[in-house]
Amino acid sequence: MAIKKNQDIPMPRQMFNGKSSWERFVNPFKALAGSCGWNDQECHFRPQSSIQSEAADFAFNQTIADTLETYSKLKSALETRSVNI
């Protein structure tokens, strides 16, 4: 089911806390983003609002500010962190 543009779209239900696998968060997120037609800006905002605990501490306190500028940089940092745990 495609969602129409300008329709109120809820935030992803799952949260990423850094303890569960990155794939468990990002694969449903990608599917939701694709079905909703989110652009890079929308994809950038929503994960920042869906991370918590250790993942949020890492993203907001342990990375350089540049990491939070784009979805691809944030995604890459979280993927790298997830692999190194």
**Stated pTM of the model:** 0.70
Q: Per-residue DSSP letters for 14-75?
A: --B-SSS-HHHHHHHHHHHHHHHT--HHHHHHHHHTTB-HHHHHIIIIIS-GGGGGSHHHHH
Q: Could you report the per-residue pLDDT of 41-83, keeping only the tens digit for each?
A: 888 888 888 888 988 898 888 888 888 888 899 888 888 877 6
Q: Of residues 26 and 83, which shows the higher confidence score?
A: 26
Q: How much is the average pLDDT of 17-38?
A: 87
The full set of domain ranges for the chain reads: 39-84
